[in-house]
Amino acid sequence: MAAAQKKDVEVYHEQHEDGSLKIYARNNTEVLQSVQIEATFKGMESSDKLPILKTVPPGESIYYFSLKPVKNAYSYNYQFTYIKGDVTAVHNDDVVYYLPYSQGQSFIVDQGYNETPTHMDQFALDFHMDEGTEISAIRDGIVFEVVENNNKGCPRQDCSKFNNYVLVLHEDGSIADYSHLEKNGALVEVGDIISAGDPIGISGSTGYASGPHLHLEVYVMRFTGQQSVKAEYYLDKNTVGIPKSGKKYTQEMD
């Protein structure tokens, strides 16, 4: 019989001789998870006000709260919600990002912030890149997630599941998404510490893509999903701003 597969996040308790329960959350994944726990109970009291939200590091368990019986008859039940990333993250708007390619290279922006057909209500950029172009990190961080096993792309939403990408977690909890990489196109692994300008991937056209390009987005996570950040970039050594569609930008930062 096959062993039961572990869930990404598990909430469990330890019971003590006095009947009290200590509630924990365990993260069985390789990425940070935000976990919120709520409880309903009768004949017991909680050590803390509920619900409680905490971030749980990869592979770790975190204590949340205790329930203690105050009557002979008691009952309890707990529920939890989780999502990868830090839902309490606040982007540092003073940060200026590098362009996502090597010094001296130039690329055109095909689609900018809040533009049709696919960036409505999204602060994302599409850089026109031939397949096989080396992609560089736009900011220091830690590699958060890597998918690189897909080899299919098409201009339909149902191809989104075939996207190859690298996610990088920044110091402020925001995440940079580098999408549509070629198969086996990640040059980094989960947990790698990287600096702005480091090579991290090879561009392609996997996933929901009408052709070769790099989709780039900075966001913070919320329980409702991704919340885009209106990131600014070094457009050249002396200019900070937001890349515009139809314009070509040269990476001039060292």
The pLDDT value recorded for residue 4 is 57
Claim to verify: residue 23 and residue 144 sit in the same structural domain:
no
Convert the pLDDT of each residue in 69-78 to its tens digit. 999 999 999 9
pLDDT at residue 1 tops 70: no
**Burial of 245 by CB count in 10 Å (0-12 exposed, 13-18 middle, 19+ buried)?**
middle
Give the residue numbers spanning the domain of 13: 9-84
Q: CA-based angle 101:58:78, to the nearest 5?
A: 130
Task: Output the average pLDDT for the chain.
Answer: 94
Is residue 22, in this structure, part of any structural domain at all? yes
Convert the pLDDT of each residue in 163-180 to its tens digit. 999 999 999 999 999 999
Residue indicated by tokens 């096993």: 149
Convert the pLDDT of each residue in 236-253 to its tens digit. 999 999 999 999 999 998
User: Among 58, 84, 110, where does a domain finish?
Assistant: 84
The pLDDT value recorded for residue 254 is 76
User: Among 27, 52, 84, where does a domain finish?
Assistant: 84
Domain tally, the chain: 2
Read off the pLDDT of each residue in 49-59 and give the average, rounded to a whole number: 96
Convert the pLDDT of each residue in 109-154 to its tens digit. 999 999 988 888 899 999 999 999 999 999 999 999 999 998 888 8
